[in-house]
Structures are given as C-alpha cells and as structure tokens.
Amino acid sequence: MESAETANHSTHRSRGIYLLGFLTKYYIQSLLLISVVILAAVNPYFRSIGNLQNILLQASFAGIGAAGMTLLIVSGAFDLSVAGLLGLCGVLISTLLPLLGAFLTFFAAILLGVVLGSLNGVVVTKLRIPAFIATLGLMNIYLALAFIWTGGSRVVPISDPIFNSLGTGALFGLPIPFLAMIAAYLGCYGILNRSVYGRCLRAVGSSEVAARTAGLPVDFIRILAFAIVGGCTALAGVFLGAELSSASAIMATGYELTVIAVVVIGGTSLKGGEGTLFGSFTGALFFAVISSALNILNVAAYWQYVATGAFLISALGVQALRSYVVVE
C-alpha cells in the first residue's frame, strides 16, 4: 500500500517535470493552443468554420514565405526583397494569365520567383554585398519594375476561374493555400533536417569560415537558399493574387518584416546555424489568430497596432520569465 503510494507520487512528479519540459520545448505551440481554446470558448463567432478557415487562409500568406525564409536565416542571411518580389510576381501573373492560362501562369510565376531569388543570392555572394543592403536595393528595383509594368500603383485584375479557385477553393474543408503551406513546410523540413544540403545550410550558418575551410561551396549553398525563398515568396504571391482577384506593386508592403518576425517568434535565431520549421509554422498561425481575435473583439483600428505589438512582446516575454522559473 505504502510502496504503491510512493510509486504513484513519483510518477506524478516525473509527469510534472515532463509537462514542464514539454511546455518549454513547445512554448509557442502551447500558447497558440491555449489562445485558440480560450477564444473559441468565449466567442461563438471565433469558433465558426468560416472564421477558422479564414485564419488558416490568412496564416498561409506569411507562412509560405516564412518556410523558405527559415532555411535562409539558418544559413546566416535574410532577404528583405520579398515584398517587391511578391508585387512583381503579382502584376506579371495578371499579364500572363490571359495569354498562358492558369496552369502555365502558375509555373511561370514560381519560375520567376526562383530566378529573382537566385539573382538576390548572386548579388549577395558574388558581389560580396551585405545581405541587408543588397536585398533592400533589390526590393527597390523589383518595386520599381512592378510600378513601371503597371504604370504606377494601379491595381490590375487577376480573373480566371481556375486560377482564382487556387485562392478561394478548399479541399476537405481546408483552404488550398493552407494545404500548400503544409506542403511547403514538409518540403522545407525534409530539406533542412533530412538532407545533406540541410546539414550544409546549418554548417554555413554556424560558421561561414569553418564551412569554407571544410571545402563546402558556401556561395552555391547560399544562392540555393535565396532561390528557395524566391520560390516560396512567388507561391505566396500566387495565392494572394488568386484570393484578391487582383494585384498591385504595393500588394505586400511590410511583408519582409512580417515574414522575418514569424520566423523569429517561432524560435529561430537571426544569428543562424539552427532553426525550427515547426516554430515558424506555429508563428504564422499565431499572427493570424491575433489579428482575427482583434477584429472579432471589435478592437478599434488604431488600438490594433498597439495590441499586436504588445501581444508579440508579452508572448515572448512570458517565455523568458518562464525559463527563469525553470532554471530555478
């Protein structure tokens, strides 16, 4: 009887430690789960299928870009040009759609993203320009090309029933962009954690000098990572354009900082060398849940800026305080 009680006590205790460890490792995931459960419990509109679908849809635009960006940040660089790249892809889709049809336009857009991404990589690695300035300069260039293409910040239509269904359609109740986001994360997870190239990315991010000395083709590895970011951004552009049925040069203003914030909130350090795709995935959902909650709770437009920033900081602040407690 007594021994059974002790055993019971010890399992109880180890379960507690296990739970604490789980919460530490999956902090942002637990936070997301708790917020969704609370919001769903207090607000009937939040738990409606339509709203949940909308959250998944909104999460996928930043989420798809963040999948590629995670790989690039792991390699120790980042790309600020994505907003311009997305705008340029969007306006080109509008032009190409009547000529090529939905299927070919889709691939043309992705191809354009990969080519422009590679160009980013070549400028950063071969001209040895800091990624910050090179990609900011290229963002200006892409924006300008999109402006010139549309003759200013004009909104151009994207109207093709098949193409638009990419943004508005759903399979098994899940929006197609969200399914694409899952595919993008599975693909990037395979690349980062299950391939030689992923190991190279982490090596380059941990120490570029060491990777170079070990004989790794550092420039090629980085260029490939930039190309992946370009491809992911173009994919996000396809879905955003398809959902809005329109495109403009400035359709993704601020996208670069949002995408990097999603990655950092997920737990990936900007210093490079390591990263978590599961974290970025959750980070994208977290952003979408916050903005949906603020809209549903009728928070006034100006207050939404304050609330979004405050949530962001306090979400990570709680994590920091909690890790103090765990250490003690």
Partner 1 sequence: MGTDQTALQSPILRLTGISKQFPGVRALEGVDFHLFAGEVHALQMSNAVASHNVRSSLSLANATRLVQVAESLGVFVLLVIVVTTASIVAPGFFTYTNLTNTLIAASVTAVTALGMTFAIAMGGFDLSVGSVQVLTAIVVASLLSVVGPPLAILGAVLTGLAIGLWNGVLISKLRLPAFVVTFGMMSVIRGVALLVTQGQSVMITKHAEFGLLNNGKILWLPVPFFIMAIVLVILSILLKNTAFGRHACAIGGNRAAAIVSGVNIDRVTIAVFGLVGVTAAISGIMLASQLMIVDATLGTGFELQAITISVLGGTSLSGGHGNLIGTVFAAILLATIASALNILKVISFYQYLAMGALLIFALAIDTARRAFVAKSLLSRS
Contact footprint for partner 1 (CB under 8 A): 80, 123, 127-130, 132-134, 136-141, 143-145, 147-148, 152, 249, 257, 260-261, 264-265, 269-270, 301-310, 312-313, 316-317, 320-321
| Nearer of residues 105 and 291 to partner 1, judged by Cβ | 291
| Nearer of residues 235 and 315 to partner 1, judged by Cβ | 315
| Nearer of residues 67 and 134 to partner 1, judged by Cβ | 134
Distance CA 139, CA 10 (A): 58
Element housing 207 (H / E) = none
| Nearer of residues 72 and 143 to partner 1, judged by Cβ | 143
| Smallest distance, partner 1 to C-beta of residue 204, A | 15
| Smallest distance, partner 1 to C-beta of residue 155, A | 15
| Smallest distance, partner 1 to C-beta of residue 28, A | 12
Distance CA 237, CA 251 (A): 9
| Nearer of residues 140 and 193 to partner 1, judged by Cβ | 140
Distance CA 292, CA 62 (A): 15
Helix (H, G, I), strand (E, B) or coil at 46: coil
CB–CB of 153/248 below 8 Å? Answer: yes
Distance CA 158, CA 105 (A): 11
Distance CA 66, CA 268 (A): 11
| Nearer of residues 54 and 319 to partner 1, judged by Cβ | 319
| Smallest distance, partner 1 to C-beta of residue 207, A | 12
The pair of structure tokens assigned to 85 is 């790249």
Strands (E), 158-309: 170-171, 174-175, 246-247
Distance CA 234, CA 210 (A): 33
| Smallest distance, partner 1 to C-beta of residue 128, A | 5
| Nearer of residues 107 and 305 to partner 1, judged by Cβ | 305
| Nearer of residues 61 and 142 to partner 1, judged by Cβ | 142
| Nearer of residues 166 and 284 to partner 1, judged by Cβ | 284
Chain-centroid distance, C-alpha 269: 14
CB–CB of 43/297 below 8 Å? Answer: yes
Strands (E), 115-226: 156-157, 170-171, 174-175
| Smallest distance, partner 1 to C-beta of residue 209, A | 12
| Smallest distance, partner 1 to C-beta of residue 262, A | 11
CB–CB of 196/32 below 8 Å? Answer: no
| Smallest distance, partner 1 to C-beta of residue 84, A | 9
CB–CB of 268/275 below 8 Å? Answer: yes
Note the helical H segments in 127-160. Answer: 131-150
| Smallest distance, partner 1 to C-beta of residue 131, A | 9
CA-CA-CA-CA torsion sign (175, 178, 179, 180): positive
